[in-house]
Amino acid sequence: MLLSAALLALFSGSQPRPQISAAEFTKRTAQRIVASGVPGAALAVFRDGKLIHQQASGLADVEQRNPYTTELAFEIGSLSKQFTASALLLLVAEGKLALDAPLGTLLDDLPEAWRAATVEQVMQHVSGIPDYEESAGYDYYNEAHAAADIVRRAAEHKPHFNPGERFEYSNTGYYLLSLIVEKQSGLPFERFLATRVFAPLGMRSSYALERPTGVTVATGYHSRSGARTAQPPIAWSATLGAGGIVSTLADMLLWDEALYTDRLLPSALRAKLWEPARANDGSTIPYGAGWFTDRTRELTHLSHSGQTNGFSCAYLRFPEQQLSVLVHCNTYGGGRVDAIARAAAAHFLPALNYYLLPAPSDDDPDSTAEHLAALRQAVLKEGELELLGTGMRRFASEASFAGEREPLRALVNSSRSFHFLRQRSLGEGADAVEEFLYRQAHASGETFWTMRFAEGVLVSLNWEDE
């Protein structure tokens, strides 16, 4: 059912609310973790090289009922890529590697179609080399594999484009970059990381292959089969620098601080980590080497997520404000760790807070009414779901999403207003979407909904209350 434009107009014009207190933020973060349905999660916020907030909720081991704590180690997944890129740049600084070197001059036994891609193109995910995860899946990371098997699995797919033509994320690329570090340095990659990266920065709890004494890792889980299942530790040889590092929040603070200084890399090379790539046609790609680049409310920020078969994490950095947020949880699928990270950033950087956004006049109340109807379909499974794309229909209908839908039902059912804030056009061609931000008042407060539409149907939904 479409809510009429006249009814929507009755509830417009709510006023900005002051930033919540530290105690209230801690309480809401704990509630977000519980509502996400993950076994356990932890959050840390860094500013000017110092830890300014940390908290944890839930369980590190469901069977043993051990609590999740901020001291636990976790699999950082694809955050490993920024360490791998830094390792390569260390070799560049020493004159042992050139970024424009083709892979075929550095590694043997590669498919011919991969050999022309340069080291830098692989770092930037513009090489065209297929992602072995596409055919192997996440369970592949549970067992040891030889490099030849990784190459074979990736080569089951032909490259989708020539090097430099466009962006396409490839774990295979970062696996190969790990092998390049080994060959050019003469050290196993895990040893290179331990001696050239972790030890110099004091990251004593971080490792790739051998867990240091005294380091406790949370138990990872996934529930893709319908039941939550404990997972074995990620197999280093199955991923290397694409996603195999284990670390802690305390060690990641040391890493974060190093990214502001020349302690590990000189500034010119360090900038390569977040310098946007350029395609062959000159267009800019918002990815450097291990970091996505973006702007939110005129603030530049860097971001990357990580996921393994048993863990998920999200890492946000605002270099100009020297503020960073890192959230991790012990399950595949993440339970919205990205939203928890964004809410923390908005709390500690008021310029990001949605409450400060001006409320414009709504020039298209009919679209707003239709978007509210799409929200009700997604959360309440109301009507025929004709306003939802395939993924959002799954969200509305499948039991695996019930834990995420349930706390949203009360918000939508008790709605008092649904007010348009902004619209943005994102992507081009087949990837084009329209993003809308709405501010909703309801019985328990207010929620900000980010809704993305493609070809008239809802394809993405995100919600935050700060």
HEC letters along 148-206? HHHHHHHCCCCCCCCCCCCCCCCHHHHHHHHHHHHHHHCCCHHHHHHHHHHHHHCCCCC
Per-residue pLDDT, averaged over 257-261, amounts to 97
DSSP state, 32? H
What CATH architecture applies to the domain 5-15+355-464?
A: Roll (3.10)
Evaluate if residue 364 carries a pLDDT over 80: yes
Q: What residue spans in the chain does CATH classification 3.10.450.590 cover? A: 5-15+355-464
Determine which of 112-116, 134-138, 374-378 has the lowest per-residue pLDDT on average.
134-138
What CATH architecture applies to the domain 75-352?
A: 3-Layer(aba) Sandwich (3.40)
Segment 9-58, tens digit of pLDDT: 222 333 334 467 899 999 999 998 998 889 999 999 999 999 999 999 99
Orientation of helix 402-413 relative to helix 365-380, angle to 10° = 130
Evaluate if residue 80 carries a pLDDT over 70: yes
pLDDT at position 418: 95
The answer to whether the CB of 156 falls within 8 A of the CB of 115 is no
Evaluate if residue 267 carries a pLDDT over 60: yes
Evaluate if residue 411 carries a pLDDT over 70: yes
- The residues, any chain, with a CB within 8 Å of residue 159's CB and separated by 6 or more, are 113, 114, 128, 129, 130
pLDDT at position 40: 96
Q: Beta partners for 45? A: 53, 325
Angstrom distance (rounded) from CA 79 to CA 398 = 30
Angstrom distance (rounded) from CA 395 to CA 379 = 8
Segment 190-235, tens digit of pLDDT: 999 999 999 999 999 999 999 999 999 999 999 877 788 999 999 9
Angstrom distance (rounded) from CA 354 to CA 363 = 20
Angstrom distance (rounded) from CA 379 to CA 393 = 10
Evaluate if residue 334 carries a pLDDT over 80: no
Q: Indicate the pairing of strand 74-75 with strand 323-329.
A: unpaired
**What global pTM score does this model have?**
0.81
pLDDT at position 115: 97
Evaluate if residue 1 carries a pLDDT over 70: no
Q: What residue spans in the chain does CATH classification 3.40.710.10 cover? A: 75-352
Segment 81-109, tens digit of pLDDT: 999 999 999 999 999 999 999 999 999 99
Which has the higher per-residue pLDDT, 164 or 223?
164
pLDDT at position 352: 84
